[in-house]
Amino acid sequence: MSTFITHRLAVAIAAGLTLPSTVSMAAPLVEEIVVSASPHQRSAEQIAGNVSALSGQALAAANRTSLGATLAGEVGISNSSFGPAAGQPVVRGQSGKRLAILSNSMASSDVAAQSADHAIAFDTLLLDRIEIIRGPATLRYGPGAIGGVINLIDNRIHAEPLDQLEGAVDLRYADNGDLASAATRVDVGDGRHALHFDGSHSRNNDLEIPGRANSDDLDQPRGILVNSANQTSAVGVGYTFHQDSVLWGVSANTLNQRYGVPGEHLHLVGHDEHDEHDEHDEHDEHDEHDEHDEHDERTEITLRRSTVNGRWRYDHDGAVWQQFSSDLQYSEYQHTEWGVGEQQRINEARFEVEQFNWRSEALYQTQQNHKGALGWQFDHKQSSVTAEQPLTPDSTTKAAGLFWLGEWQRNHLRLELGSRLDWQQISASERPERRDNALYNASGALIYNSAGSGWSAPIVALRLDRSERAPTVEELYSDGYHAATSAVEQGLATLNSEQAWNGELNARWRWPTAQQRPIQFEATLYRNQFDRFTYLSSLVDSSGWQRYSSDSDACSTALSDFDDSAEQFAAAPLCYQYHQQAAIFQGFEVELRLPIASHHQIGLQADRVRSKLDDGYAVPRVPADSAVLSWQSNYHHWQWQAAVERVKAQHRVGRAETSSKGYTTLSLAINYQWQQFNFGLAVDNLTDTEIRNAASVIRGQAPEAGRTVMLSLRYTIE
């Protein structure tokens, strides 16, 4: 993906829906894409590792209410959808803790990595750029990012002087879920001072789907994904000062979100557990609650994230040291999970996170063919959970790291090396011991580039990494019922750091043609081999899978712990515990752009990831093989697009998981550009196909959206 940007089908696609298809649209050739992956401001094709970026019209086309859905059109990336609001990226089968989600190169402060039903607290409508980074450059941002780094850049603090007025207004509507969204941003500067303002609001009702959410439950309504409504609002401001070689800036932003969590049966167990407690403490309220139909109960999440950022940079341009920079971020995050009935609203759990991040970096060049970067990073995070039976204890996590990146150029060869040393300490309430981990990560890459400006020769890169990640609070100390997995989860305090070796071979070609665009091709092979892969697995004994008994407050397979009732045993939640064992992930990614006439282009992309644990089972929730064939035509101010996506069935599933069926979708779009206005009409999932996402925890209870007709209007000032 480094030589060109892939993104989803419609420039006009509405931002608010978690739409099913990973449709790709061919983009005009972009010669230079400067990305934050390189401390030396290299273009994407000059960077080791697989790097891609979404910005401008491509980002506008891809926008969704969740980050996972926004990036799902990128090759090798899927969406772990938990309804339209909570979707996290899955990169080459890796997600959550193995994927670093950054805000302006600083760590995010939400709790999305703890659970699939927790939304990533960003509004992609307000982002200036999204960058997906793999390779040595990931060492700049933290340890253990085996899946890579996703950097969300909002441009509230301007990296370069601004001496004009810039802005945009974005309006969208979709018939599915009656989605409506509006976003605006304004930037104004005089070359020295720059001001920024942005704001957005979006909402959608329950999504329309083909058939029933759970095809095995005939009592469910047809054609609707119950409890999938979502509402998000955000506002941000920024100020930047430039003078000679100095930059300093400050920004602040706040996001509020309220969304439903689909999959009713996931919450009934949790409510039953909650109501048992009420029977002892608040009997009257419990009796009133029992009068209601349990199927009217649902779970809703409200969250608020507030962040203040500061940045300082000095361009020294000396004989050795070239630049010094420092970034600060302070964030507060609150997240409440509600049990909602017809006549009451119960606060089931409240998550709070307070986080401070500090990152500094210095760039140097000792000779003409050698340059590098040195830096350090400090993070302090306090987390608390308030609930009757909190899944994790209150905790404080401190982390500090030192990193170095260096590169050497000789003729057509460039060597890139990186090294990072980290220390992490976790202190948890009611746990006398502290967990201290020392981590070492290293990366190396060799790039051969003999191509000229026409790219008639390939660019080949070979990369090898050693990654190490410390266990998190939930992996160590979880102990309770978790609605997202419909299970009782138990941590393992004796977990060691997770280690992996990662290899990648990437080749890119570009052939000039008589058409306006060249032929472009990119292929990647990769393999991740874990020594101690940390994962959540069902507890099994000689009699089968263990389930949680509320009577004995323990996991068991004995019917005597369930009143000798097979039905009660079958209805009880499964028991899961974190384990470690060796694991392998391997796969490929392929992209092709082929112009067939001056105004037409055919695109093809395909990806596959295979996983295997040491015990022979597959890793849970690994995406299925997928391929997209697209066609694009441009004539004057018009653009037409069509794409067919095929996703294979996924039978390589984890223990206690069910297979997912394959599917084929068709999407169409028309786009018209008139001066500064962009009008769009798109139809996604034209055939109204039922889509069960293999990477989703609740694929059996919550399919993706059905046919969706979308309208958009975008006005830009440049």
In this predicted structure, what is the pLDDT of residue 433? 84
pLDDT digits (tens, 9 = 90+) for 211-266: 999 877 777 889 999 999 999 999 999 999 999 999 999 999 999 999 999 975 44
Q: Does residue 580 contact residue 496 with C-beta atoms inside 8 Å?
A: yes
Instruction: Give me the DSSP letters along 252-308.
Output: EEEEEEEEEE--HHHHHHHHHHHHHHHHHH-HHHHHHHHTS-GGG-EEEEEEEEEEE
The yes-or-no verdict on residue 34 having pLDDT over 80 is no
Q: Does residue 584 contact residue 531 with C-beta atoms inside 8 Å?
A: no
The token duo for 427 is 């202190």
Q: Which of 84, 80, 107 is nearest to 94 (CA)?
A: 80
Instruction: Give me the DSSP letters along 582-651.
Output: EEEEEEEEEEEEEEEETTEEEEEEEEEEEEEETTSPPPTTPPPPEEEEEEEEEETTEEEEEEEEEE--B-
Mean pLDDT value of segment 639-658? 91
pLDDT digits (tens, 9 = 90+) for 376-428: 999 999 999 998 888 899 999 999 999 999 999 998 899 999 999 999 999 99
In this predicted structure, what is the pLDDT of residue 264? 55
Query: How many residues does this entry show for the chain?
Result: 718
Q: How far apart are the first and last CA of the chain?
A: 27
The yes-or-no verdict on residue 33 having pLDDT over 70 is no
Name the strand (E) or helix (H) holding 70: helix 67-71
Half-sphere exposure of 278 (CA within 13 A, CB side): 18
The yes-or-no verdict on residue 270 having pLDDT over 60 is no
Sequence-ordered list of residues with C-beta below 8 angstroms from that of 664, at least 6 positions apart, any chain: 644, 645, 646, 647, 687, 689
What share of the chain has pLDDT > 70, as a percent?
A: 89
Task: Show the DSSP H helices in 87-228 as ranges.
Answer: none
Q: Does residue 136 contact residue 463 with C-beta atoms inside 8 Å?
A: yes
Instruction: Give me the DSSP letters along 474-524.
Output: HHHH-EEEETTTTEEEE--TT---EEEEEEEEEEEEEE--SSSS-EEEEEE
Q: Report how far apart, in Å, the C-alpha atoms of 47 and of each of 1, 420, 554 are.
A: 11, 19, 52
Q: Of 28-42, 496-510, 569-583, 587-601, which gets the smallest average pLDDT?
A: 28-42
Sequence-ordered list of residues with C-beta below 8 angstroms from that of 115, at least 6 positions apart, any chain: 482, 484, 485
CA distance 494 to 48: 36
CA distance 627 to 590: 9
Sequence-ordered list of residues with C-beta below 8 angstroms from that of 48, at least 6 positions apart, any chain: 135, 136, 137, 414, 416, 445, 446, 447, 461, 463
The yes-or-no verdict on residue 542 having pLDDT over 50 is yes
Half-sphere exposure of 483 (CA within 13 A, CB side): 29
Q: Does residue 394 contact residue 387 with C-beta atoms inside 8 Å?
A: no
Q: Of 287-291, 529-533, 705-709, which gets the smallest average pLDDT?
A: 287-291
Query: Which residue segments constitute the domains of the chain, with CATH numbers given?
Result: 44-717 (2.40.170.20)
CA distance 299 to 532: 35
- Burial of residue 182, with CB atoms counted within 10 A of its CB: 0-12 exposed, 13-18 middle, 19 or more buried: middle
